Structure 1
Amino acid sequence: MPHHLMNLRNVPDDEADDIRALFEEHDVRYYETPPSRWGISMGGFWVHDDDEAARARALLDDYQARRLAQQRQEYDARCERGETGLWHQFRSRPVTFLAAIIAIAAILSLTLLPYIRL
Structure 2
Amino acid sequence: MAKLLLNLRHVSDDEADDVRAFLETGGIAFYETRPSRWGISHGGIWVEDNAKVAEAKRLMADYQKQRQARVRAEREQALRDGTAETFADIVRQQPLRVLLTLVAIVFLLGLVALPVWLLHH
| Matched residue, 2:15 | 15
The residue that corresponds to 1:85 in the other structure is 86
- TM-score between both structures, scaled by the size of structure 1: 0.72
3-state DSSP of counterpart to 1:6: strand
Structure 1 unmatched ranges of 5 or more: none
Distance of 2:20 and 2:48 partners within structure 1: 16
- Contact 1:7/1:42 (8 A) holds in 2: yes
Matches within 5 A, 1:16-55: 16-36=16-36, 37-39=38-40, 41-55=41-55
Number of positions where the alignment pairs a residue of Structure 1 with one of Structure 2: 117
Whether the 8 Å contact between 2:32 and 2:45 is mirrored in structure 1 is yes
The question of whether the paired residues in 1 share the 8 Å contact of 2:7 and 2:44 is answered with yes
Does structure 1 retain, via aligned residues, the 8 Å contact 2:75–2:84? no
TM-score (norm 2): 0.70
Q: What is the rounded CA distance, in whole Å, between the counterparts of 1:54 and 1:106 in structure 2?
A: 48
CA contact (8 A) 2:3 2:48 kept: yes
Q: Where has structure 1 moved over 3 Å in runs of 4 or more?
A: 90-109
Match of 1:67, as an amino acid?
R
RMSD across aligned positions (CA) = 2.7
Partner of 1:69: 69
| Distance (Å, rounded) in 2 between the aligned partners of 1:42 and 1:107 | 28
Structure 1 residue 43, shift from structure 2 partner: 1.8
C-alpha deviation, 1:60, in angstroms: 0.9
Mapped to 2, the partners of 1:107 and 1:82 lie a distance apart of 33
Deviation digits for residues 53-102 of structure 1 (CA, Å, limit 9, x no counterpart): 11111111111111111111122222221523212223455676567667
Task: Among all aligned residue pairs of Structure 1 and Structure 2, give the percentage whose two residues are the same amino acid.
Answer: 38
